[in-house]
Amino acid sequence: MPELSKDEISKREVEFSEAENPKVTFLVGCGTDLSNLVRLLESIKATSAGIAIEVILLVEEIETETARFIENNIRGLAACHTSESAGFLTTLNRAVANSRGEFFAVLKPSVLLRPNWLRELLNGISREPRIAMVDGKVLAKDGLLDEAGTFLDAAFQLQKYGESDFPDRPKYNFIREMEFNVGSNTLVRKEDFERAGGFEKGLSLADAFCTLSFTFREKLDKKIIYLPQAEAIRQAAEEGGKLDVSGFFVKSGGGSLERSFDDDRNARLLLNSRNVLFIDIGLPEHDRDSGSLRAFYLLKLLRELGNHVIVVPRRGQVASPYFEELIGLGVEVLYAFPDRKGMRRELTALLPSVAVAWICRPQLNREFEWIFRINPKIKWIFDTIDLHYMRLAREAEVFKSTRLVKKSARFKKLELSIASKADLTLTVTEDEKNLLEGQGIRQIAVIPNIHESHRLSDFPSFSQREGLLFIGSYHHPPNVDAVKWLVEEIMPIVWEKLRIPVTLLGNAPGKEVQALKNELVRVPGYVQDIAPFFTSHRVFVAPLRYGAGMKGKIGESLAYKLPIVTTAVGAEGVGLTHGVDVLIADDKESFAQQIIQAYQDEMLWSDLASNSEKVLNSYSPTQIREKLRIILEGLG
């Protein structure tokens, strides 16, 4: 940004609200550049919107013009004065002691905060009590990277990570733990600061933050975390360069982590010891299809088990809010930068540190088989998602298609070939596990869909509900076939007796699905919040004539305790019992009769609803996390 003129500065006014219980205290050094100070104060106000803060100005000897501006143009901040004899760090310790915030930040006018800065740092430092200090990404004025946190090189010199590189490179955009921090873009937990004894006097501010970092990590067992989504801009260069921190390790009498001459490797030294590579078509869009919901849960559980997770979306594309959600979980996303060739180069560089490669779908396992040639020590997990050859065989039977029979045979050959090479093959149901075992595959485990019962404060009764509900992604052919069969063949039988409305919910309804709309059939398409639909409709219908694996729509309906009418294909793999927790029918006449019965019989409806939660116990995150732990330990 261009420097503000004296006339522009005289017209700028900044007013801070005086919070009774501030969450964060900003300790701001005045500096000598009034233009930068004005912009910093304005950015503090912008980044703290909706958050209770206090601002304390650290006043040394300042120019008359700056003092006049502070007095006349700024409201709602306090001042903490210092003298040359006391020293800046003494003043800073006193200011922290008198501050009222749970957290504090020390800022110089050389930085400018972006609107997301404070909220991202607060979210990060609140993740766990062991985090004492968090740091964000700093951009240079030219748009390149100034620093993505710090790292310690082979000579024990503390360096900025990524200086003058492109800030959008994946390796600068995941959460990681650091050894040291210089405090130029940092939020600190005040309680931990006081336990550490404050800033050591007689040092520069950068050295004082390094000393504090060492105390946090080595003496208080605390963490220092880099958070890439909290961004600031360096308005002006700061003095100082590399810092030699070898003395900390000498004084402590301890060793340190092994260094190399590879900066990237040094920056990643504190990552969790087991790196899990997770490859799928794209990022899990968990509110759009059941496979993505399962993948999203799996990534969360892998992180909870202490793994560093690297996600590779095959297409290389990322979309909001799914990318930001994964970053918030501590997942590293290796997207296409600047293109898919660049993504492959960055993936190749990471392969020596990868312990487990979890690859979804047979096609992707074939495409990414090259990674095991580069690092044969990687344990290979083939996640089938569903047995494609079984789904295609069932589709071929429904439509009497020789083309699909041949396609099924090709997929069977591919899936069995991959399963025979992989260290472990995953299915989502016991039925599919048994099928593979019958084909001679031995190393198989079941990781089903994952569901949690929704704790509803308001559960509408039978009489308060109306209509039938279906949900599914219409990119998936079995869902398109299901709704066509429902509207064109099943519902005409039902409508002869009951004029029941039908809602076809779900992502990407194409022309075939849109053509089903009439006065009794709605096609809303994708909606972000599906809860109102599951709590307002009386019966869920899933007339799936073909498919494989466990159906996420069935689990979601159970989670909302919405009674279900489905086929044997729809119910498979879940452990459902006809008449107890589901109604099952496989021809259009029987399916129509089951709809009518569930829609009219309140006692049956209540029994089906109350039994739903029992079914889901086996598919809870807690249960699946334990399965994952055993699987990963078994791989070694």
Pairing of strands 564-566, 583-584: parallel
CATH: 3.90.550.10, 3.90.180.10, 3.20.20.80, 3.30.450.40. Which one for 13-267?
3.90.550.10
Range(s) for CATH 3.90.550.10 in the chain?
A: 13-267
Please calculate the CA angle 78-83-89 and round it to the nearest 5 degrees: 75
- Closest listed residue to residue 316, CA positions, set 345, 289, 356: 345
Mind listing the pLDDT tens digit for each residue in 490-535?
Answer: 999 999 999 999 999 999 999 999 999 999 999 999 999 999 999 9
pLDDT the model gives residue 114: 95
Confidence of residue 81 (pLDDT cuts 50, 70, 90): low
Mind listing the pLDDT tens digit for each residue in 457-474?
Answer: 778 999 999 999 999 999
- Closest listed residue to residue 346, CA positions, set 358, 360, 331, 336: 336
Mind listing the pLDDT tens digit for each residue in 358-410?
Answer: 999 999 999 999 999 999 999 999 999 999 999 999 999 999 999 999 999 99
* Token code pair at residue 328: 């918030």
Q: Are the beta carbons of 482 and 545 closer than 8 angstroms?
A: yes
Alpha-carbon Rg for the chain in angstroms? 30
Topology of the domain comprising 275-450+625-631: Rossmann fold (3.40.50)
| CATH number given to 462-619 | 3.40.50.2000
pLDDT the model gives residue 251: 63
Percentage of residues of the chain with pLDDT beyond 90: 77
pLDDT averaged over every residue in the chain: 92
pLDDT the model gives residue 160: 94
Q: Is the confidence at residue 228, as pLDDT, over 70?
A: yes
Confidence of residue 61 (pLDDT cuts 50, 70, 90): low
Q: Identify the three-state secondary structure at position 345.
A: helix
Work out the angle between the directed axes of helices 388-399 and 477-485 (0-180°, nearest 10). 30
Mind listing the pLDDT tens digit for each residue in 94-127?
Answer: 999 999 999 999 998 889 999 999 999 999 999 9
Q: Is the confidence at residue 261, as pLDDT, over 90?
A: no
Confidence of residue 154 (pLDDT cuts 50, 70, 90): confident
Range(s) for CATH 3.40.50.2000 in the chain?
A: 275-450+625-631, 462-619
pLDDT the model gives residue 83: 55
Mean pLDDT over residues 82-93, rounded?
Answer: 74
Mean pLDDT over residues 601-619, rounded?
Answer: 91
Q: Is the confidence at residue 36, as pLDDT, over 60?
A: yes
Mean pLDDT over residues 414-419, rounded?
Answer: 97
Mind listing the pLDDT tens digit for each residue in 290-300?
Answer: 889 999 999 99
